Chains A and B, each alone.
Chain A
């Protein structure tokens, strides 16, 4: 058994409504009304493994990723990861890049905050990473608006990899892209994953993409993981009704 990069045990997640009533309740030290969005979630990701997380909008995929990154304040259960700075690739290539900053500046940011490298060394690392994600070096001096969707997503992947993270969460990284661009980004992703032995939680609603990218898959519905297994297992012999429905809707099976 390999060592696990991420272990999630019996996690319950809650979302607090931001209302005046709740604010007043908090003022008197009471708990506000909360809605449970994650129910008893348990899974693990091994080193160098890509795990897919499939579900429809509102099923709690994004909340789960927030919980893993430590952004969800109100949760119960254990989340252990071996890595210092887990990173994330976001769905929307447009809003994930600060529009008033240059690409180089954005990619440098993790190094500035977490390392003691000087300006020169940071610059070199950025240029190296640009090459790794298949972009020209002069991209460093451009603004996000001058880049296409595919190029932006390459920059996002590059930024996430700057710190050589042990764990990467990819939240629908290709669903906002055209099919042909999607194929290119997936190829790049797989190439980097193998080269750097990345452990990835790959969130997607597209079963075909998940099939190609992932080793194992988790099917999520209404805050619960309803099915789990290797991709082959789940796709060929789905057990849960919901998985069957998903596969049928996508024209697989």
Chain B
């Protein structure tokens, strides 16, 4: 059989794997201490020593980018984890049982869902203060509704299917039906939702850090690096370019991966 090449899956896979590798390496090794200021290397151009150059304090951009990717990834993963776990819990119970509880919860859900997640996060941050964990909490809460909604609609679709009735006749209890019979059937939808959610989290986190209310200095963050680089846009555009490209890389990788996977599932 002639095999159709799945470019999306391949490109996405390569981008994601290299990104994950880079993050993994950054945990154990970075070329320079990302926080060490070197007054001799202020705004140094890209060279053999500093492959992406240095910032206005003489910190190595490449090292900071590596650490920043790690931080962004950490926040995004935490956010998505929180959204998924609570989303599955809320979505499965409301979807399976329906009724007045479902009605009320979904109203609330819809209202939260309608808000731009970054705005919700802003409210939380203005109440809780900034920082890595606050951001995870804030974005995580903002992300729960979208996951709950997806899981719920899948459960509503599945609970009417004959195999669920058949499982009930086979003596399976409600919890067993929900988590052993139905939940595995939502995996395709859930998986692509996780990838999309991950990307939204990356964009939201970097946006908040760009505004100065995300990951707090001195910890490196891609968004903050870009907002600092704006001042030097005329003389050193590459200072903004590299962190920007890293965000692009991360988001593109996951987006293509998701695209490729759904392509494979469809064909």
Residues of chain A touching chain B, judged by Cβ–Cβ distance below 8 Å, are: 18, 20, 23, 26-27, 69, 71, 85-88, 90-92, 95-101, 106, 109-110, 113-114, 156, 159-160, 162
Contact = CB atoms under 8 A, between A and B. Distances in A.
Contacts of A160: 169
Contacts of B166: 88, 90, 96-97, 156, 159
Given A91-B162, A96-B166, A109-B167, 8 more contacts: A20-B103, A23-B100, A88-B169, A96-B162, A96-B163, A97-B163, A113-B171, A156-B166
Interface residues of B, number: 21
20 contacts: A20-B103, A71-B168, A85-B169, A88-B165, A88-B169, A90-B162, A91-B162, A92-B162, A95-B163, A96-B166, A98-B167, A98-B185, A100-B185, A101-B181, A109-B170, A110-B170, A113-B173, A114-B170, A156-B166, A160-B169
Interface centre among B98, B100, B170 (most CB of A within 10 A): B170
Interface string B184-208: 1101000000000000000000000
B46 interface: no
| The 9 residue pairs across chains A and B that have the minimum distance between CB atoms | A113-B171, A96-B162, A110-B170, A90-B162, A109-B170, A98-B163, A100-B184, A95-B162, A114-B171
A90 B176 CA distance: 21
Interface in B20-70: none
Contacts of B171: 85, 109-110, 113-114
B172 interface: yes
Given A90-B166, A96-B166, A159-B170, A23 B185 contact: no
A113 B163 contact: no
A27 B169 CA distance: 30
B131 to A, nearest CB: 40
Contacts of B167: 98, 109
Task: Determine the main DSSP class of B at the interface with A.
Answer: helix
Contacts, number: 61
B151 to A, nearest CB: 16
Interface of B: 98-100, 103, 161-163, 165-173, 176, 181, 184-185, 187
A109 B170 CA distance: 6
B185 A27 contact: no
Contacts of B168: 71
A113 B185 contact: no
B98 to A, nearest CB: 7
B170 A27 contact: no
Contacts of A106: 163
A95 B170 CA distance: 16
Nearest to B186: A100
B264 to A, nearest CB: 15
A10 to B, nearest CB: 25
Nearest to B168: A71
Contacts of A26: 100
Given A23-B99, A23-B103, A100-B184, A113 B170 contact: yes
A11 B99 CA distance: 26
A188 to B, nearest CB: 19
